[in-house]
A and B are shown apart, each in its own frame.
Chain A
């Protein structure tokens, strides 16, 4: 069972979600713009990493908000 989140933690997680969405999108767009195969691969993996982070942060936020409501 997850402990309750502090307001500061919720703000950090919220901000991280916002940044992860933006970073995942821009990395995906940039990977389509570059010709270098290594850089393209790196940008694709970055986009995936940001998407994974987004899911983790959303999961943490979801569990914490359920804890607050109960």
Chain B
């Protein structure tokens, strides 16, 4: 039943959104708490909310109710361009981009470029996912 499917996906989406808010609220409450027991209480609540959100997100992906978009080669090129611009002249920029001992755009660029390139060249699979 189409209505049933939509309603279940909506319930799952709403549940995921509330869990994200719950985790954020608990984290803020933990940060503001002075009493160590209260702090611990909110830390635990935050951790449990994050775990539950992970479970519902997995279920949503499994059921096809949520399809995470994959980064395209164009996205990554744009990202790398911006990153190089923002970090130009910053001390240690070459280390941040390529890892220790690597040149800018070297190790990291090759890994990301390779993965994205392989995905971008492949045909899109079901549900709009790009398959490697």
A residues apposed to B, CB below 8 Å: 2-6, 8-9, 12-13, 15-16, 19, 23, 27, 30, 33-36, 38-39, 42-43, 45-46, 49, 53, 56-57, 60
Contact = CB atoms under 8 A, between A and B. Distances in A.
Contacts of A12: 29, 32-33, 38, 42
B7 A33 contact: yes
Interface residues of B, number: 28
Given A30-B11, A34-B11, A49-B48, A39 B59 contact: yes
Interface of B: 4, 7-8, 11-12, 15, 18, 22, 25-26, 29, 32-38, 41-42, 44-45, 48, 52, 55-56, 59, 63
Given A5-B38, A30-B15, A56-B41, 11 more contacts: A9-B38, A12-B32, A12-B33, A12-B38, A12-B42, A19-B22, A23-B22, A33-B11, A39-B11, A46-B15, A49-B52
A43 B36 CA distance: 31
A2 B32 contact: no
